[in-house]
């Protein structure tokens, strides 16, 4: 399945149906008069977040969504049928953004969440509703309220607990494959990851979601490489795991480049909890790893964990450290579900 995290679509609710102009003329009925019914209400545009979707690719081929209008009213005071609501199903984590991309109009962050985004027009009044003591045979009627329409952008921000960041070829995809059920592409060349990947980590009876995004290079905020657009997928992450390749000529510079791009992007990424890991530790001896760790500690202010995504060395310690930051919220969520009781 192709990955698409942005799409522009046109949406229009249904217009209200017109009211009817009708008069009773049954034989042997003493009193006649107007009996035109009201028009039906137009269909709403409804967005619903559903599980099982992780791309907006369907909106590349279908870009116009129009709810049906209400039916016209009938004689004998019969109201016209209402237009059926049009439900647009989107992945969990989808934002609806204005056409100028300046305002977030809705944010669907939970499975099953529904929002009536555009309301259908109300039906027009039939001539029966215009009858008064002085206007016994009205012929006016309402034409129905117009539809609402607009262009919007859909933007998908994947929901994950941990986000992997680093330069291209830092070993992010290898680690994701090693500790989760993902099957991300791995290659000995830059930008093997061209779109975000998700995987579920199961560790010590706990589960959390890890996201891998394409690597950042210097100038990504200005569009270098494949840019920094995919950083939107880790905006919702609680913890960032920053991988630095131990084989880089200057590990401190490698760390600084990524941090500068996170700071330039903003959106709260610069303030997120970050764990630092020196990856591919299996390729160097202990003495050199100590020297590289000293360089990273001097730059980042924290001692990096040592890790090898290829062999699994150090992965246990990294996952333990991630759980230390994730467990408090997980325990609180479990307590809320169980009414405050927890087995831990």
Q: Is 100 one of the annotated binding-site residues?
A: no
Q: Is 213 one of the annotated binding-site residues?
A: yes
Q: Is 173 one of the annotated binding-site residues?
A: yes
Query: How many other β-carbons are positioned within 10 Å of the β-carbon of residue 219?
Result: 15
Q: Is 167 one of the annotated binding-site residues?
A: yes
Q: Is 172 one of the annotated binding-site residues?
A: yes
Phi then psi dihedrals of residue 11, to 5 deg: -125, 145
Dist CA 107 CA 282 (whole Å): 43
Q: Is 160 one of the annotated binding-site residues?
A: no
Task: Give the torsion sign (CA, 5, 9, 14, 15).
Answer: positive
Q: Is 123 one of the annotated binding-site residues?
A: no
CA neighbor of 277 nearest in space, from 188, 178, 160: 178
Q: Is 191 one of the annotated binding-site residues?
A: yes
Dist CA 313 CA 330 (whole Å): 26
Dist CA 184 CA 176 (whole Å): 7
Q: Is 195 one of the annotated binding-site residues?
A: yes
Q: Is 10 one of the annotated binding-site residues?
A: no
Dist CA 175 CA 184 (whole Å): 10
Q: Is 192 one of the annotated binding-site residues?
A: yes
Q: Is 109 one of the annotated binding-site residues?
A: no
* Half-sphere exposure in the Cβ direction for 309 (13 Å, CA): 23
Q: Is 257 one of the annotated binding-site residues?
A: no
Q: Is 16 one of the annotated binding-site residues?
A: no
Which alpha helices (H) appear in 223-314, and where do they start and end? 251-265, 286-300
Dist CA 69 CA 57 (whole Å): 28
Query: Do residues 50 and 155 touch, judged by C-beta distance below 8 A?
Result: no
Q: Is 62 one of the annotated binding-site residues?
A: no
Q: Is 215 one of the annotated binding-site residues?
A: yes
Query: How many other β-carbons are positioned within 10 Å of the β-carbon of residue 51?
Result: 9
Query: How many other β-carbons are positioned within 10 Å of the β-carbon of residue 335?
Result: 13
CA distance from start to end of the chain: 40
Dist CA 270 CA 56 (whole Å): 28
CA neighbor of 142 nearest in space, from 15, 44, 12: 15
Query: Do residues 213 and 228 touch, judged by C-beta distance below 8 A?
Result: no
Dist CA 14 CA 118 (whole Å): 9
Q: Is 281 one of the annotated binding-site residues?
A: yes
Q: Which residues are annotated as a binding site?
A: 166-173, 191-195, 212-215, 279-282, 308-310
Q: Which residues are annotated as a binding site for GTP?
A: 166-173, 191-195, 212-215, 279-282, 308-310
Q: Which residues are annotated as a binding site for Mg(2+)?
A: 173, 193
């Amino acid at each position: 399945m192709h990955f698409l995290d942005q799409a522009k679509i046109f949406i229009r609710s249904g217009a209200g149906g017109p009211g009817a102009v009708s008069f009773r003329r049954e034989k042997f009925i003493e009193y006649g008069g107007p009996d035109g019914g009201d028009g039906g209400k137009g269909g709403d545009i409804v967005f619903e977040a559903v599980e099982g979707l992780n791309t907006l690719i369907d909106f590349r081929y279908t870009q116009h969504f129009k709810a049906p209008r209400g039916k016209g009213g009938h004689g004998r005071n019969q109201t016209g049928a209402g237009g059926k609501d049009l439900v647009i199903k989107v992945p969990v984590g989808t934002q609806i953004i204005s056409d100028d991309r300046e305002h977030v109009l809705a944010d669907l962050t939970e499975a099953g969440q529904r929002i009536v985004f555009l309301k259908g027009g109300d039906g027009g009044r039939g001539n029966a509703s215009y009858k008064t003591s002085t206007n016994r045979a009205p012929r006016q009627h309402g034409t129905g309220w117009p539809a609402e329409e607009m262009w919007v952008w859909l933007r998908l921000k994947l929901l994950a607990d941990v986000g992997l960041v680093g330069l291209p070829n830092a070993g992010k995809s290898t680690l994701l494959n090693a500790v989760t059920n993902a099957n991300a592409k791995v290659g000995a060349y830059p930008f093997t990851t061209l779109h975000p990947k998700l995987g579920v980590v199961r560790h010590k009876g706990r589960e959390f979601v890890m996201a891998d995004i394409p690597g950042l290079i210097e100038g990504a905020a200005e569009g270098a490489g494949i840019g920094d657009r995919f950083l939107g997928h880790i905006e919702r992450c609680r913890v960032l795991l920053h991988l630095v390749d131990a084989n880089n000529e200057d590990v401190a510079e490698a760390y600084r480049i990524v941090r500068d791009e996170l700071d330039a992007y903003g959106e709260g990424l610069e303030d997120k909890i970050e764990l630092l890991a020196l990856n591919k530790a299996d390729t160097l001896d202990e003495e050199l790893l100590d020297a590289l760790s000293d360089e990273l500690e001097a730059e980042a202010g924290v001692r990096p964990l040592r890790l090898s995504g290829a062999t699994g060395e150090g992965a246990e310690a990294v996952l333990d450290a991630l759980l230390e930051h994730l467990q408090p919220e997980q325990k609180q969520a479990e307590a809320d579900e169980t009414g405050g009781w927890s087995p831990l």
